[in-house]
Amino acid sequence: MLDITQMRKEYMEKGLNRKDLNENPFKQFELWFNQALEVNLREPNAMVLATTGEDMMPSVRTVLLKIFDETGFVFFSNYKSKKAQDIEENPKAAVLFPWLDLDRQVKIEGTIEKISSKSSLKYFLSRPKGSQIGAWVSHQSEVVSSRSILEAKFNEIKNKFVKGEIPFPDFWGGYILKPEKIEFWQAGTDRLHDRFVYTLQEDKTWEIERLAP
């Protein structure tokens, strides 16, 4: 057995104070996201998405945030994937941005729904051709016997559309997570971490509360 009980890091950050928070959680997220970009954090838009379907078995994977505004947080996927099935059965979900190099995390909980086909098409057309082909090749989450099958399918589609535009697949597109809670976590000394959660109220305002670490 590998004993990692003595693995520890002493956090030296100044912490997070209530007075320093923006009243708008989307603006606070944008501030932290830009700071992650400034320090060249690897894949700052990578977020861990947790879903649960009717089987009540939690499922987790990393997806890439592609758009965010005060409506919500958008990512793209195959609409026949395991995550899509979970979302269809239970649209409640959560994502986590683990910005470990900054000793920060952002957790977002809310409801997921599909974005419009027009918006999905706009993003699809902005992708490199290889990524467009990849959307056609991968029947996400299905069992495949070998990588060579995927490569053969990729080359088949590539050759088929070598002289034209790659059509938009109707089984692929965007989802938006519309938040009900957004939590900002900043590491502190002696494990006294700072946690602030924004909770959406019925009048569409956000209540901010400090949570115990």
Task: Answer yes or no: 147 catalytic.
Answer: no
User: What is d(CA 108, CA 106) in angstroms, rounded to the nearest whole number?
Assistant: 7
Cα(26)–Cα(95) distance, integer angstroms: 15
- Could you tell me which of 100, 61, 65, 104 has the C-alpha nearest to residue 82? 61
Name the catalytic one among 104, 191, 195, 210. 191
The 3-state DSSP class for residue 33 equals: helix
**Euclidean distance between CA atoms 90 and 118, whole angstroms:** 24
Q: Contact 72/178 with Cβ under 8 angstroms?
A: yes
Helix (H, G, I), strand (E, B) or coil at 162: coil
| Catalytic center residues | 191
